[in-house]
Amino acid sequence: MIRYLITRVLSVIPVVGVVTAVVFGLTYLSPGDPAAVLAGDYASPAQIEAIRERLQLDAPVVSRYFLWLKNTLQGDFGASLFSGQPVLNLILARAEPTITLAIAATLVALILAVPLGLLAAQRPGTIVDRVFLLFCVGGMSIPAFLIGYLLIFTFGVRLGWMPVQGFAGMDKGILVMTRHILLPAIMLGFAQTALIGRITRASAIEVFNQDFVRVARAKGLSETSIVIRHCLRLVAVPLVTVVGTSFASMLGGVVITETVFAIPGIGRLLVEAIQRIDIPVIQGVLLISAVIYVVINLLVDLAYLFIDPRIKYT
């Protein structure tokens, strides 16, 4: 067990190393000249070249990569080419809306998907099951931005119940924050609800067909007791993988949702940096997102040990 944990943690190091190379390579190969953008439309070639030298954009690619990697390992992601602020400070300033939105969307998906998936699994082939499968197909097929605009039109414009733009943090109060985050969370969690619901249904049907469930029913245990005591733990194993992966991807920046609802999160920061070819910001956001993804996948692997005691890592 301990040996596996050490090996698994050490295996993350080369993965992160490859991620740094890919992130740097993608930003280097992307079209556009940040020096020309920073200089403006009327800058002379000499002025553009001076900016390029000041930013060390004319240095060899390998030396630039190792210099960036060295600074990154020390916690220095550089400074924005346009605002001059440290990249890490820009990301941390945008982190609260994205983290709050990711948590809220995950909660919405779990609250809806798990009970509905279990209900459909208990009645396979019935009208309840067919309606649920239709909902899942729609959730995976309908574009997220369409769901967002329908929510804005219905609950924001027509009914006026919810704000449709911006973000309010915990300092504004839990009620105000909930009103601002509810519609974006539903939009973001809609597709996740469909995915988690289908996996819950498929896993629960497999569990309900096991012999120990038949024995439990023969002994007179209620369906609620069977689900809570015997089914949920086994269903949780595939769910943890899906939920962990979805949550990690949302933490990387939910571009569409943050754009539709004008939420100043990491996703919008990345879009703004790409539009201005702000290479340090792009590199910082991509690298932190990738590292978060790798770390959450590691935690998901380790969580299996606590969810299902039958799983043994050697």
pLDDT, one tens digit per residue, over 156-183 is 888 878 887 878 777 777 888 888 888 8
DSSP 62-107: HHHHHHHHHHHHTT---B-TTT--BHHHHHHHHHHHHHHHHHHHHH
Q: Does the pLDDT value for residue 31 go beyond 80?
A: no
Amino acid type, 97: P
Residue that the structure tokens 């090996």 belong to: 7
Instruction: Please name which of 82, 91, 93 lies closest in space to residue 287, comparing C-alpha atoms.
Output: 91
Q: Is residue 246 packed enough to be buried (19+ CB in 10 Å), middle (13-18) or exposed (0-12)? A: buried
Residue ranges of domains in the chain? 95-276
Q: What is the pTM of this model?
A: 0.80
Amino acid type, 215: V
Share of the chain above pLDDT 70, in %: 87
User: Cα(109)–Cα(170) distance, rounded to whole angstroms?
Assistant: 22
Q: Does the pLDDT value for residue 314 go beyond 60?
A: no
Instruction: Please name which of 158, 166, 187 lies closest in space to residue 264, comparing C-alpha atoms.
Output: 166
Coil vs helix vs strand at 309: coil
Q: Does the pLDDT value for residue 310 go beyond 70?
A: no
Banded model confidence at residue 59, pLDDT cuts 50, 70, 90? low
Q: Read off the pLDDT of each residue in 65-86 and give the average, rounded to a whole number.
A: 81
Instruction: Please name which of 100, 115, 276 lies closest in space to residue 201, comparing C-alpha atoms.
Output: 115
Q: Does the pLDDT value for residue 81 go beyond 60?
A: yes
The confidence score (pLDDT) of residue 270 equals 85
User: Cα(210)–Cα(37) distance, rounded to whole angstroms?
Assistant: 63
- More confident of the two residues 223 and 131: 131
Q: List, in sequence order, the alpha helices (H) in the chain.
A: 2-29, 34-39, 45-54, 61-73, 87-122, 127-141, 144-151, 174-208, 211-218, 223-226, 232-251, 255-260, 266-276, 279-307
Q: Does the pLDDT value for residue 309 go beyond 70?
A: no
The confidence score (pLDDT) of residue 37 equals 63
CB-based contact 269:91 (threshold 8 Å): yes
The confidence score (pLDDT) of residue 312 equals 62
The confidence score (pLDDT) of residue 252 equals 66
Most confident of the ranges 48-57, 69-78, 184-193, 205-214: 184-193
Residue that the structure tokens 């949920």 belong to: 232
The confidence score (pLDDT) of residue 55 equals 64
Pick the CATH number of 95-276 from 3.30.230.70, 3.90.1200.10, 3.10.20.30, 1.10.3720.10: 1.10.3720.10
Q: How many of the other CB atoms lie within 10 Å of CB of 14?
A: 9
User: Cα(113)–Cα(122) distance, rounded to whole angstroms?
Assistant: 14
Q: Distances in Å between the alpha carbon of 60 and those of 28, 40, 57, 67, 284?
A: 11, 25, 8, 11, 20
Amino acid type, 214: R
User: Cα(199)–Cα(195) distance, rounded to whole angstroms?
Assistant: 6
pLDDT, one tens digit per residue, over 198-221 is 888 888 888 777 777 777 777 777
The confidence score (pLDDT) of residue 229 equals 72
Element (H, E) at 222: none
Q: Does the pLDDT value for residue 284 go beyond 80?
A: yes
Q: How many of the other CB atoms lie within 10 Å of CB of 297?
A: 16
User: Cα(188)–Cα(104) distance, rounded to whole angstroms?
Assistant: 9
pLDDT, one tens digit per residue, over 94-107 is 888 888 888 888 89
